[in-house]
Homo-oligomer: A and B are copies of this chain.
Amino acid sequence: MSDIEEQLRPRHSRDEEKADIYDEDGSIRSDFRALVGAAIADRDVLFLRKEVAHLHESEMGDLIEAIQPDQRLALITLLGDDFDMTALTEVDDAIRLQIVDQMPNEQIAAAIGDLDSDDAVYILEDLDEEDRDEILAQLPFTERVRLRRALDYPESSAGRRMQSEFVAVPPFWAVGQTIDYMREEEGLPESFTQIFVIDPTFKLLGVVDLDRILRTKRQVKIETIMRETNHPIPAEMDQEEAAQLFEQYDLLSAAVVDEGGRLVGVLTIDDVVDVIQEEAEEDLMRLGGVGDEELSDSIPETSRSRVPWLLVNLLTAFLAASVISLFEATIEQIVALAVLMPIVAGMGGNAGSQTMTVTVRALATRNLDIHNAWRVVRREAGVGLLNGLIFGVLIGVIAGFWFHDANIGGIIASAMLINMMAAAIAGILIPLLLDKIGADPAVSSAVFVTTVTDITGFFAFLGLATWWFAI
């Protein structure tokens, strides 16, 4: 069995869906971790080359995250040229920064020269300017120009995420000539699925998918089989917007052009998949009231990132408390109200969260817009009314029996109905309004919605009780 075969063997046994460095939970197997840890401690380069060097970049990334922090740089240094820096694009930001900060700039420069430009930019963009310049200065001219140009585009833009390596041919070439060119040219990108057609000034004319080339006779001219690129992506476009184009039009890759319509790079679906994943996570985290924290953040960092949201909530909690304090006299006489009032506020808060979640998702996927907003508002109000009736009656009966007082049952039932309606309307109008004025509905809706439901809940319940019992 050849070396290569042996390396590949454990990774494609038919029954295993995952390479077997993973246990069934999808974490790195602990015996493998231990073996690697021991090999690093023993500086056993032979073992590492044999068992670790061949790992896929994402497996290597997982391994780096799994081993002891102080062993990470050692692993990379021991592997030397066998270490593919692409793996660093697969680890947490904090861990990558830690590792890169410890590496001498010469080592980074040497390693980065072999990377695709998008991966190189990913690693360079987090470094401080001084280190970055030092590393760039050690790269060959074309490489340096490419990376500098990509780094000049704004963060999170298509220009940052694009790959500067691509295949481009003039329109008058024949299919045969194009194939011959690809057979001989050494400097082609590592992998590609389409080739671009450009004029002498690099203006983008069209695109040809590789399967189209393979189906076409040698003498046919490229310009007759190219298709117009309906969706060239301006380099300044935000990566999230670019991702939406990919999703909508099922693109595999797309040309990135500068203001003059000149081809500067290509954005590929694998980078876009990461963007989609990140954006979806961002929405989730924002709705939960946390920023873009990572599990590897320290306690003070994490605490700091969560305090602002809690602070806002503190203010609104005092607002709600001050509503309660208006009714101190009523509570003093009927303590049952104090027992029951959190139920009204809490149920309203949950109903509001439901509506808000649906609204935020619909806004993110562009399913909610001016045309159907009115219909959706009516629907939510209807749902609020229906659920308000159901839960109003339910709570009213339970509370009435609990405190042997039909009045209290009737009051809490009415308050619940009012609050469920308020929850529905706040749950949809607040995110819509925030979106309209350009704020991110995911980040700020929750606090406003629960404020509305808390205040409405306390006010309706205690107010109705005060009026009914004429206290």
Chain A positions within 8 Å of B, measured between CB atoms, are 8, 11-12, 14, 17-19, 25-28, 30, 33, 56, 58-59, 65-66, 92, 179, 182-183, 188, 191-193, 209-211, 213-217, 228-234, 237, 241, 244-250, 252, 257, 261, 269-270, 272-274, 276-277, 280-281, 283-285, 287-290, 293, 295, 298-300, 302-303, 306-307, 309-310, 313-314, 317-318, 320-322, 324-325, 328, 331-332, 335-336, 338-343, 345-347, 350-351, 353-354, 356-358, 360-362, 365-372, 376, 379, 382-383, 386-387, 390-391, 394-395, 398, 450, 454, 458
In whole angstroms, what is the CA distance A351 to B360 when docked? 21
- Which residue of chain B has its CB nearest to the CB of A427? B288
Determine if B245 and A17 form an interchain contact, defined as CB atoms under 8 angstroms apart. yes
Report whether over half of chain A's contact residues are helix, strand or loop; otherwise say mixed: helix
Given the known A-B contacts A230-B19, A310-B351, A358-B290, are A295 and B376 also in contact in the complex, defined by CB atoms under 8 Å?
A: yes
A289 close to B354 (CB less than 8 A) = yes
Further 4 A-B residue pairs, CB within 8 A, beyond A269-B273, A310-B347:
A58-B248, A193-B211, A250-B270, A290-B354
Closest to A18 in B: B245
Taking the closest CB of chain B, its distance from the CB of A127, in whole angstroms, is 24
Name the distance in Å between A307's Cβ and chain B's nearest Cβ. Answer: 7
B372 touches A295 (CB 8 A): yes
Cβ contact within 8 Å between B338 and A324:
yes
Which B residues touch A228, using CB under 8 A? 8, 12
Q: Which residues of B contact A332 (CB under 8 A)?
A: 332, 335
On whether the beta carbons of B306 and A383 are closer than 8 Å, the reply is: yes
The CA of A18 and the CA of B276, in the complex, are separated in Å by 18
**CA–CA, A285 to B355, complex, Å?**
10
A395 contacts across to B, CB distance below 8 A: 314
Are B214 and A391 neighbours in the complex by a CB distance under 8 Å? no
Chain B residues positioned under 8 Å from A283 (CB to CB):
284
Determine the chain B residues whose CB is within 8 A of the CB of A191 once the complex forms: 209, 211
Contacts of A376 in B (CB 8 A): 295
